[in-house]
Each structure stands twice: as structure tokens, then as C-alpha cells.
A and B are shown apart, each in its own frame.
Chain A
Amino acid sequence: MSIAMAERAKLEALRARFGAAIRRADLPGNGRMFVTVDPAAIREICRHVFREMGARYVISIGADDRPFSGEFLVAHNFAFDGDGVLCGLLAHLPGDRPALDSISDVVPAANWAEREFRDLVGIEPMGHRYPKRLVLPDGWPEGVHPLRKDVSWDDVPKDFDEDLEFKFDEAPDGCVVVPFGPFHPTLDEPAHFRLYVEGEMVRGCEYRGFMAHRGIEKLAESVLSYNDIPMMAERICGICGCVHSVAYVQAVEDAAGVRVPERAEYIRTIMLEMERLHSHLLWVGLACHIVGFDTLFMQSFRIREPIMWMAERMTGNRKTYALCLVGGVRWDIAPETGAALRGVLDTLEKEWRGVVDAVTGDRNIQARTRGVGVAGPDLVKDVGLVGPVARASGVAIDCRRDHPYAAYGRVAFEVITERGGDVWSRIVVRMKEVFESIGIIRQCLDKMSPGPIQARVDDELPVGRMGLSSVEAPRGEAHHFLVTGEGNRPRRWRVRAPTYQNLQGVPAMIRDQQLADMTIALGSIDPCFSCTDRMETVDVRSGLRRTWTQEDLVRLLKKGGA
């Protein structure tokens, strides 16, 4: 069945079931569906799409559309992975009463996303089962929603109490609280888990994150222009920056119908796979470090280093490739660089084989990782887990195959799956994916033909169009949603990093596990907090119960220095 036919069939099914509640549908025929529905029916429609039609939940977006239409907008995005269709279910809400039914009881994966648009756009998810603040700190005043269009990007409300401590939930009876974070040697980024521990067993946890907010989405919507944003999107993450850069430009190209030259698509594919290579090598190293196996950690990093040098030779930088513009890429790969890249890949393949043999032959590592941090297929579905975490549970989803972008439709590769659903399976999946990435880069180098690398974009981009883009990051699907706007910049740009969904699965993965397994279980989703925390304009410094305020620390520093 062609993609266009699949879209039509889905729409017919929805019309047959919900009739007039389906108000409008937009099927561009490229694997995207935008269906405007009656807000009163949104919960039932989402339940039907998620449970009966078997869609995977991607993300929910809230947008302030009042300056243009006088309304608020909510989009619940789903993916039909088998049919290659990404679907946005849209609801328009009146400008004076932005509220709609929460879907988090029928689609548990929407828990965070709904709390986020409640915090940032001020759209109330009615009946949410845990309506606690997610992104905004507790000291932020009620009724100020930073992503609304009438709030400037540099606004700080006068009654913002920066030092107010978080209000935490009560720990269950018989449990002590072990604070894990905000700073911990294995986290490397601020995030706070309050673990409820009984003896050595973890019985539950509460998560507070979003501590390093940089206001990236707000800046894109109010300060930057279309071609500035790829450079900033790249800085969302220190590891998978290229993913966000590509995902953003693809969302713009999708919305505006820009066609990208073939050679540019190959170059994007090569750099995305380079990024996967160094990310997976880094991750396997870190996983070994977490369980105390430092020798493999060091060896992984040694093997990884030539990839970084190669990236520097190709792009001028070890990381942050400054690759994409809307409609193409900024630089080309010279023939001699391609030959050098092949050489690096050959060495990597040989050396990585050695690491894989060492890890799979080590009973000690397996003793620490088998049966640890288990996520079954049900949890994958309910929480919307993606990437190696999903594939390690036998759920074969991979955007590169399911929603082909760049040159992935023209290369052959295998989607690696395992059955165990535990940390060990995730290690195996990532180790094997390295070989697939090497294969993909080689195919791209073979198939690339000379040609232009940048499409001419002469006209202004059309206004008010929507674009979706899913890119398979090393950690799973990175999804970008974009509405084009006036003044050479988007009206709304929503980034959903893979960790955003995967983190929501962590409490279930660590429940009734040993405290010692907490770090490796958390590490196994390869959490990327900078991706997840991408979007606010405030800075939170509280979080520990015995808190040093910022003023205290500054005073202490001055005293010590004098």
C-alpha cells in the first residue's frame, strides 16, 4: 500500500468512527497527516488512535496562536510506524478559555507533554492525574506562561522567587530518601531523582529536572531567523547536535515544500551516522565505567578518537558540524576526505569487533546487567519509549526505516532488535548498531554522485504551514514540530528529544531494583538532560533539601578568596 493510500485509509477509518468530530483533514501525500478535531472529542479520538489503531505516541504540543487566529492550538502527534505516516491531531481552543481534556489517562506517555504546555503556554489539561509543575520552578508566579506571545523572551516576572525550594512528595512509609543528583558523578548534567529506598531496594522515585533551561524554542520564535536556527539547534545537545540540526531543517523543508539535492541528503546521512558511531562508542564506554570496568571504558574512548579526528577533518570541528541550512548543507565532502573516512571505518570495524568480543565474553558484565532495568513491550507502548531501549525489548521501531528521510531510503541496513528488555540487551543492540552505521556510511560513499549541495530558496517561505520531522538519534527518535511564520522565522517550534520519553520510563525500570543498579539502569537509556531541558528562560538552583542558596555560595566564595 502506498503511503498516500495508507493516509486516506486512516482518515476514512477516523471519519467512519467519529463523523462530525473530524472537522478538517490535510493530507499532503508525503507521509504526513494533519487532522483538526473537535476539542470535546479529543480524548476519545486519541484513545482510539493509540489503542485500537495501534499508533505510537510521539508528543503533544501547545501553541499560542492568538495573534493570528485568536485561538490556542494543541497538537497530539502520533506515528503509524508500519505505514510510514506521522499524524498530528489538532484542536483549536478559544483564546479566553484554553483548556481541554487530558489524554494522560488513556495515553500515559502524554504525562510530561501535557504538564509542559500547562506550564509554558497555559493550556489546562483537565483531569490530568498528576498535574504537578514539570518545567517551571516552584517559585515562578502563577499565570505567567513564557511561551505565550505576549511574554518577551527576556522577561523575568518581578515576583519570581528564585530561591524557593521544590515541594517534594512524601516518601512512602518505611523508606529513606536517597537523593540522586542534582549533581552525581555518573550524571554529568543536573537532574534530580529522589529515590525511595528500603534497605538496598529502590521502591520508587520522584524526578525533578529541567534545571538547565536555555530558552531555545522561545529564542527561535522571537529573535532568530530560519537559517540561524540550525546553528542553535545543533547546540541543544553536546552529543547528538547534528540530529537536531537535521530534524529542524527537515521540518522547515517539510512545511514549505523545499526539495533538497540528492548529494546534500547523502552528506546529511553520513554525518548523522558519524554521530551515531561516536555516540554509541562513548555510551558503551560509559556503561562499562558505571559498572566499574574502566579498562573497556578507556579502550572505547581510544577507538572513538579517530572518529572525532575524522569529523574535525571533514567539518573543522570534533563536534558541532555546522552542517545544515534550509534546502541543503553548507559544505561538501572532497574525494580524498571520503577515502580517508573509509580508512578510519576499516580500523574502527576491526577494533570494535575486539571490544564486542571482550564484552560478550565477560560473565562479570552480564551478571551486572542481565535482568536489570527491564522495560517490557507494554511499558514501551505506554510510555512511548524509543530507540535502542524499545528495540532491546523486541519493538522494532527505527525512524530511518519507518519514516525514511535524507538518503536512508536508498541504503540497506538492518534494524537490530533483542528480546530481553534489560540493560544487557541495550548494550548488545548498541554494539551491533555500530556495524550497521559503518555499512550505511560505506554505501553512501559508494552511491554519492557529484552535484549541487544546496537548493535555491528565493521566495519567502509560506506562512502558517505545519511540518513534522522525525530523525533517529543515537538514543531514539528526535521529533521536531514546526509552524512557519512571519518575519523569516517560525511561529512555533517544538523539539522532542528521545530522552524526553525514555526518562518517563525510568521510574518503572528501577522500581524494586537494587540501589546499585540505579545508575546503570538510568545510564542504559543514555539520558541526555540538555536535550530534555532545552526550553526555558529561567535558571533553577534549588533542589536539595539542605539547600545552599546562590547568595550563600557567592558569599562563601568571596570569604574564602579574601
Chain B
Amino acid sequence: MSVDWPRDILGCALNVGTVLLAAPLFEGVLRKVTARIQSRQGPPLRQPYYDLLKLLGKEDIESGELPAMQRFASRLSLAAVLAVACMVPMGFGASMGGAADAILLGYLLVLCGICTLLGGLAAGSTYSLVGISREMMTMISLEPLLAIALMIGAIHARTFSLDAIFVGSVYGTGGPPASGVIMFGVMLLSFQAFVGRVPFDIAEAETEIMEGPLVEYSGPKLALFKYARMVKLVAYSGIFVGLFVPWGSSLGFPWAPIIFWAKVLALVLAVTLVAATHARYRIDQAVRYFAGMLGVSLVAVVLASLGM
């Protein structure tokens, strides 16, 4: 576990750069496929790039209660999710040379959610307050699921190092991979919520509370929040792939990255399909749903501690 600074910094930069470049493309795929399901033509694949450029080029309007906090929250939200991207293997093995561990990853993921809370709180409109109360309820009931998945990986690997976890360690070594399979199911069924899409886009719910925490945002700040949301989709897909379907990532260049991005694309398509065929849940219904998932994943923890 030696730290090789030039290599690790280069690895991180590569991950961040790739994610920044690729995330809008996946958003474009999502929009295009959604449109086709809805019998529409849909925007061109490059549209999300144009959208971001347009927003970034607009006048920065300070319309909330605490402008400084709003600026900070919008920058931090993108930064946090990019930091997550640094730790996730994207076909090159995890960068940061083993320095990254599951606990840090867990905190960074929570930080992404906290940025939304900060942003909404600083904006101070009634709708954003309703939005952040929903976001908070979602976070409290949802984040433990990912934490448990990481924990099960750590139990089997007997270390918190992400290098050891992101090779499918949730399935354990020898013995029946019961806990890993259970968590695979749980994460698959709650993945939509982690990336904040229908039926779990409750905190933003445009037709109810007008985008909730984002209602006061426009221009560059909105661009950063939107960018963070797009990157989140890719980063969480990367985490999912690393945790549950890492196979093929040791094949080296060029097959490892190709296989990785193919898996991410498959996940994005699944997200699109679910989003296009569901109605939005109410927050109480969603929390009940997550609570059920939590119960199941606690069983998985017990199984993991028994070596299964």
C-alpha cells in the first residue's frame, strides 16, 4: 500500500476529467431514450452540454437569503461528488493508492446530500424548506443502505480499504454469497433513489414544490447543482459496479474501461426505463419503502458476520 504521488494524482485527475466529460453524455442518453419511450423525437445527445454552457454563461443572480452560503453550497456539491469519483475504480483500478477507505466514501456521499440541504436552507424560500425536509428524510432512511453494503464488503474483506472492497468482496470468499446477493437486490431496488430520479425525485418534485431546494437558483449556481446531479448518476453507477459487478476490470486497457462504461450505460438505461414507467411516490410512502429495504439489509449484515 505504498503511496505513489504522481501516479495517484494523475489517476484522480483522469477519473475527474472522464466523469466531467462523460456525465452530460449519459444525461443525454437518458433524455433521448425517455423521449423515444414517450413517442417524442427528443433533444440531441449533446443537449446537456449546451444546457450547462448556457447556464454557466448567464448572469449570476443572488436571489436567496444567504448568497455567500448559496455560492459555497453549489461549488461544494460538485466538489464532493467529484471527490467520490476519485475513489471509484473506472476501469483503471481505484486511484489514491489504497488511501481511500469505505468510511471516507460514506462521509463524502452524505456530504453530497448535505450540500442540497445547505443550498435549500440558504435560499430560504418556503418551497426549498419543504424540499430540504423531504431530502433530509430521504437521506436518513436511504444512506444507511449504502453504508451497510460497504460494511458487508468490509466484513468479508476484513479491511475498510476500497481497493479490497471494490473487487466484489461483498460476495465473500468461499461459503454461500447470501449477504452479497441480498444487498445486490436491495441496492438495485433503491438505486433510483440514490440518483434522485422518478419515482424518488420527491425532494425536487417540480409539479408539487417547484424543484424544492433549487427553486431560487439560476445561472452558474444552477449549472453546478445540475452538473453535480449528472455526475452523481455516473459516480453511483461506478460504486454499484465496483461493489457488485466488478468483473472484467482487471483485463487492462482497453477492455477494462470499455467493459466498465458498458455496465454504467446499462445501469443508466435501467434508470431511464424505471423513471419513464413510474409515478412519483409521496415522501411517507418512500420512507416506508426504504425502511423495508433497511430491514432486509440488516439481515444481510447478520449473515455477513456469520461468513455467508
Contacts and interface: CB of A to CB of B under 8 A. Distances in A.
Contacts of B283: 200, 514, 516
A519 B126 contact: no
Given A178-B126, A179-B126, A288-B279, A302 B39 contact: yes
A295 interface: yes
Given A368-B279, A368-B282, A514-B282, A292 B40 contact: no
A516 B280 CA distance: 10
Which applies to chain A's interface (DSSP): helix, strand, loop or mixed?
A: helix
B126 A290 contact: no
A365 B279 contact: yes
12 contacts: A176-B126, A184-B210, A185-B206, A185-B207, A200-B130, A200-B133, A291-B280, A292-B205, A294-B38, A295-B34, A295-B276, A362-B279
A557 interface: no
A367 interface: yes
Contact of A295 (B38, B127, B201, B207): B38
Interface string B198-211: 11011001111110
Interface in A266-320: 288-295, 297-299, 302
A547 interface: no
Nearest to A560: B59
B208 A293 contact: no
Could you say which of A197, A288, A290, A295 has the most chain B C-beta atoms within 10 Å of its C-beta?
A295
A293 B284 contact: no
Contacts of A199: 133
Nearest to B200: A292
Interface of A: 176-179, 184-186, 197, 199-200, 288-295, 297-299, 302, 362, 364-365, 367-368, 514-519
Interface in B271-296: 276-285
- Which 9 pairs, one residue from A and one from B, show the smallest C-beta to C-beta distance? A292-B280, A298-B38, A293-B279, A291-B279, A516-B282, A295-B276, A364-B279, A186-B207, A290-B207
Nearest to A177: B126
B39 A515 contact: no
Contacts of B302: none
Contact of B282 (A178, A184, A517): A517
Nearest to A186: B207
A516 B40 contact: no
B276 A294 contact: yes
B21 interface: no
A368 B281 CA distance: 7
Interface string B104-134: 0000000000000000000000110010010
B284 A298 contact: no
A302 B40 CA distance: 9
Interface residues of B, number: 29
Contacts of A302: 39
Could you say which of A176, A292, A295, A362 has the most chain B C-beta atoms within 10 Å of its C-beta?
A292
A297 B206 CA distance: 15
Contacts of A178: 126-127, 130
A295 B208 contact: no
B214 to A, nearest CB: 13
Contacts of A177: 126
A292 B201 CA distance: 9
A185 B210 contact: yes
B37 interface: yes
Contacts of B276: 294-295
A298 B281 contact: no
A516 B37 contact: no
A295 B198 CA distance: 11
A288 B280 CA distance: 10
Contacts of A518: 208
A343 to B, nearest CB: 20
A367 B285 contact: yes
A284 to B, nearest CB: 13
Given A178-B130, A294-B38, A298-B40, A515 B279 contact: no
Could you say which of B127, B133, B209, B276 has the most chain A C-beta atoms within 10 Å of its C-beta?
B209
Contacts of B201: 292
A224 B198 CA distance: 51
Given A288-B279, A514-B282, 18 more contacts: A177-B126, A178-B126, A186-B207, A200-B133, A290-B208, A292-B201, A292-B279, A293-B198, A295-B37, A295-B276, A295-B277, A298-B40, A362-B279, A364-B278, A367-B279, A514-B284, A515-B130, A515-B208
Contacts of A292: 198-199, 201, 205, 207, 278-280
A245 B201 CA distance: 42
A177 B127 CA distance: 11
Given A176-B126, A184-B210, A185-B207, A293 B278 contact: yes
A362 B201 CA distance: 19
B74 to A, nearest CB: 22
Contact of B207 (A289, A367, A515): A289
B288 to A, nearest CB: 10
Contacts of B280: 291-293, 368
B282 to A, nearest CB: 5
A516 B279 contact: no
B137 to A, nearest CB: 9
A302 B37 CA distance: 12
A517 B207 CA distance: 11
Nearest to B201: A292
Nearest to A184: B210
